[in-house]
């Protein structure tokens, strides 16, 4: 598994790189920091859709909550971020811990919860995927960090109650 992880990471760090794509990946990563993009989207939907305001606010809160839960897992697992000789990461991170990807956990948790509230928000799943794939592309995570984060996020998005 480790060999496949490294092979995929190296491929993602060496293929399809242009300044424009790297800029997009960095911008998506910044938007995903601390679940901010999801917090903002949830609040916007709550303002635009008062009949489901409570559900949208739960979605908004889920991003930062998922980040916190993810950090507890990182502390338990203690997997260091990837290091590829000659390929430094193309971004910074608040922690030296890698597993699982907080961007993937929070993004998929909220995107799945939003889809449960209104299937018309299916585009959020594409945003979650783009944010998540950007992490190994930038060298911030192993692909398995992202896969585990996405699976955990999907689970959270499916089980979180959308009303109090």
Q: What is the Cα–Cα distance from 31 to 21, expressed in whole angstroms? A: 15
Res. 158 pLDDT band, cuts 50 70 90 = very high
The closest alpha carbon to 16, from 136, 126, 124, belongs to 136
Q: What is the Cα–Cα distance from 110 to 102, expressed in whole angstroms? A: 12
Which pTM was predicted? 0.93
With vertex at residue 36, the alpha carbon angle to CA 33 and CA 39, rounded to the nearest 5 degrees, is 150
Q: What is the Cα–Cα distance from 102 to 72, expressed in whole angstroms? A: 11
On the question of a cis peptide bond just before residue 91, with omega within 30 degrees of 0, the verdict is no
Q: How does pLDDT run across 7-60, given as a tens digit for each residue?
A: 999 999 999 999 999 999 999 998 888 888 999 999 999 999 999 999 999 999
The encoded tokens of residue 114 equal 């939003």
């Amino acid at each position: 598994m480790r060999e496949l992880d490294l092979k995929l990471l190296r491929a993602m760090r060496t293929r399809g790189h242009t300044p424009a794509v790297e800029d997009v990946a960095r911008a998506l990563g910044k938007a995903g920091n601390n679940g901010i993009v999801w917090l903002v989207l949830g609040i916007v939907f709550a303002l635009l859709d008062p009949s489901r305001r409570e559900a949208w606010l739960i979605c908004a809160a889920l991003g930062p909550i998922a980040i916190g839960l993810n950090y507890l897992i990182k502390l338990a697992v203690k997997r260091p971020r990837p290091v590829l000789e000659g390929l430094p990461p193309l971004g910074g991170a608040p922690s030296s811990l890698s597993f699982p990807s907080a961007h993937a956990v929070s993004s998929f948790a909220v995107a799945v919860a939003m889809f449960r509230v209104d299937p018309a928000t299916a585009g959020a799943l594409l945003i979650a995927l783009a944010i998540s794939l950007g992490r190994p592309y930038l060298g911030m995570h192993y692909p398995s960090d992202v896969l585990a984060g996405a699976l955990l996020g999907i689970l959270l998005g499916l089980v979180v109650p959308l009303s109090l």
